[in-house]
Amino acid sequence: MNILLLGSGGREHALALKMSQSTQCGQLFIAPGNAGTAQCGTNVQMGVSDFEQIKTFCLEHAINLVIPGSEEALVNGIYDFFSEDAALQHIPVIGPSREGAQMEGSKAFAKLFMQRHNIPTPAYREFNATSYEAGVAYLQQHSLPIVLKADGLAAGKGVVIAATHEEALDEFEQMIKSAKFGDASKTVVVEEFLRGIEMSAFVITDGHSYKILPEAKDYKKIGEGDLGLNTGGMGAVSPVPFADKAFMAKVEDRIIRPTVEGLSKEGIVYKGFIFFGLFNIDGEPMVIEYNCRMGDPETEVVIPRLQNDLLELFSAVAEGTLAAQTIYADVRTAATVMLVSKGYPEAYEKNKAITGIPAPTGDQIVFHAGTRQDGKTILTNGGRVLAITSLAADLSLALVHSLQTAEQIQFEGKVYRRDIGFEFI
Ligand code: AMP
Ligand code: GLY
C-alpha cells in the first residue's frame, strides 16, 4: 500500500514511524515532512492544502491511502475533494468530510451538536455583529472569569479567559468589531468557566463503529508549574492516572458513543480520528472541544503505546470493518518532553545545529517536530523542535529517562519543562 501523510510535526513523525513498521506499508510519502519523517519514508515539498498538486502526486505515485495529520486540510475539505473526483474516489482519506471537520472548525457548530445529543459541555451563548449589544449585556452580568472563544480556527490562540468584565468586553469588541482573528472571530462563543483537571480522549471511527485509543494529558503552558503563555504543547503523558475504568465508562457512555451515533444519525460523514478535549469535574466528564485529528504532542505518547498495526486499523476505517478490530495498548507509561526554541511561543530563531539525538530503542524514541536536514546536519526549523518519548513501568521513571536525553541533546537556545506529569508524581 502506498501512502501519503500530510504534515510536518512530531505527530506526523510518530504516525510515519508507526505506519512504516507495518508489513502492509509500500512507499510512504510525507508532505512536507521533517528530518525525522525522512527516516521513515520520502519527504515531498508540497503544501497540505494544495489539493490540485496533491491530486497529481497521488495519481503519479499510485497512492492508496491519504492521512491528513492536522486539521487544516480536513477543514479545507480534502475528504470531499477526493470523494467528488472520479480519478481520486478510490483513494480513502482518513478523516472527516468538510462538514464533519466543523466539529473542530466551528466552536458554535460543535456546541449545537452537543446540545442536540445531550453531551455534557459547559453552558454557553453565541454572538456575532448582529447580536453584539445583547452580547455586551450578557457579558456585563456574567460571573468571572469569562471564557471567550473565537468560533473558527485561530492557530490555537482563539480562547481567552478574561479575569474582569473590562477585559472580557475589550476582547469581545476586538474579536467581533476589529476582526482580531479575521473571519474566525466573526462569531464568538461565551462559555461558562470550568474548574477541574483536563485530559484528552481519542477514538478512531469508520462512521458506525469506533475504537477507543489510549488517553493522554498534555501540558500547554510554556513554564513549569503550568505558568506563562499557551503553546502547542510542551509535553504529554499516557495513561492518565485518574482516567480509570469508572471515569472512562462515563466518557464512553455520555460522550463518545453519543458523538459517533450523533454524527451517523445526522448523516455527517466521518471516518477518522476524533479528539475529545475533556474536563474532569469531581469525577464527571465534560467536553470543552472536539478536534478532528490526533493531538500533538499527545500522538507522541499514544502511538508508542498502541500495539496494533496502524495500517490495518486505517484499512478497517476505509472499509467500514472497524467493529472487528481490537485495540491493544502497552501497559507501560509513556511521557514525552518537548524541546523548544528559546522565545517560543513568541518570536524565536531557526537553523541551529542539533547534536546528540540518540537512536531509537525499545523504550525511547526522539520524534522530530520542527527540524530539517541540511546535508549531514540536522537543524532547528520551528518553535517545537523534538519530542522525547520514553516508556517505563511508571511515570517518574519515564520522565527521568526523557529528561536525561533532553540534557544530552544540544542546540543553541534549547528550552524544556522538567515537570511534565507533575500532578501525578
Ligand atoms: P481550546 O482551544 O478549546 O483547547 O482551549 C484552550 C484552553 O483553554 C484549554 O486547554 C483550557 O485550558 C482552557 N479552557 C477552554 N475552555 C474552558 C472552560 N470552559 N473553562 C476553563 N478553561 C477552559
Ligand atoms: N495538544 C493539543 C492539540 O493538539 O490540539
Of the candidates 94, 113, 93, 92, the residue with the CA atom closest to the CA atom of residue 102: 113
What local confidence, expressed as pLDDT, does residue 279 receive? Answer: 98
Instruction: Kindly list the distances between the CA atom of residue 324 and the CA atoms of 203, 207, 213, 261, 313, in Å, as whole numbers in the listed order.
Output: 15, 14, 15, 18, 10
> How far, in Å, is the centroid of ligand 1 from the Cα of 202?
17
What local confidence, expressed as pLDDT, does residue 202 receive? Answer: 98
Of the listed ligands, the closest to the CA of 151 is 1
Q: Whose CA is nearest to atom 2 of ligand 2?
A: 295
Q: Choose which residue among 103, 215, 298, 338 to substitute to test ligand 2 binding: the one with the highest number of ligand atoms within 8 A of its C-beta.
A: 298
The pLDDT confidence band at residue 65, using thresholds 50, 70 and 90, is very high
Cα(251)–Cα(115) distance, rounded to whole angstroms?
16
What cell does 104 get? 473542530
Of the candidates 369, 48, 34, the residue with the CA atom closest to the CA atom of residue 232: 369
Q: Choose which residue among 231, 296, 367 to substitute to test ligand 2 binding: the one with the highest number of ligand atoms within 8 A of its C-beta.
A: 296
Backbone angles phi, psi at 242, to 5 degrees: -80, -10
Residues having CB closer than 6 A to ligand 2 are: 218, 233, 291, 295-296, 298
Q: What is the CATH number of domain 3-97?
A: 3.40.50.20
Q: What is the CATH number of domain 124-191?
A: 3.30.1490.20
| Range with lowest mean pLDDT among 79-88, 114-123, 173-182, 403-412 | 173-182
Atom of ligand 1 nearest to the CA of 289: 3
Please report the beta strands in 292-383, taking only residues with DSSP state E, as ranges in sequence order: 333-341, 353-354, 364-368, 371-374, 377-380
Atom of ligand 1 nearest to the CA of 194: 20
Please report the beta strands in 342-399, taking only residues with DSSP state E, as ranges in sequence order: 353-354, 364-368, 371-374, 377-380, 384-392
pTM attached to this predicted model? 0.97
Tens of pLDDT, residue by residue over 10-19, are: 999 999 999 9
With 90 as the cut, is the pLDDT of residue 156 above it? no
User: 300 burial class (0-12, 13-18, 19+ CB within 10 angstroms)?
Assistant: buried
Tens of pLDDT, residue by residue over 135-151, are: 999 999 999 999 999 99
With 90 as the cut, is the pLDDT of residue 334 above it? yes
What local confidence, expressed as pLDDT, does residue 228 receive? Answer: 94
Q: Whose CA is nearest to atom 18 of ligand 1?
A: 193
Cα(355)–Cα(378) distance, rounded to whole angstroms?
8
Query: Mean pLDDT across the stretch 71-88?
Result: 98
Cα(114)–Cα(311) distance, rounded to whole angstroms?
31
End-to-end CA distance of the chain: 43
> How far, in Å, is the centroid of ligand 2 from the Cα of 104?
11
What local confidence, expressed as pLDDT, does residue 341 receive? Answer: 98
Q: Choose which residue among 106, 144, 149, 159 to substitute to test ligand 1 binding: the one with the highest number of ligand atoms within 8 A of its C-beta.
A: 159
Cα(349)–Cα(382) distance, rounded to whole angstroms?
8
Domain with CATH 3.30.1490.20 in the chain: 124-191
With 90 as the cut, is the pLDDT of residue 310 above it? yes
Please report the beta strands in 76-184, taking only residues with DSSP state E, as ranges in sequence order: 95-96, 124-127, 146-150, 159-162
Domain with CATH 3.40.50.20 in the chain: 3-97
The pLDDT confidence band at residue 59, using thresholds 50, 70 and 90, is very high
What local confidence, expressed as pLDDT, does residue 155 receive? Answer: 82
Q: Whose CA is nearest to atom 5 of ligand 2?
A: 295
Q: Whose CA is nearest to atom 7 of ligand 1?
A: 159
Q: Choose which residue among 104, 218, 420 to substitute to test ligand 2 binding: the one with the highest number of ligand atoms within 8 A of its C-beta.
A: 218
The pLDDT confidence band at residue 261, using thresholds 50, 70 and 90, is very high
Query: Mean pLDDT across the stretch 23-50?
Result: 98
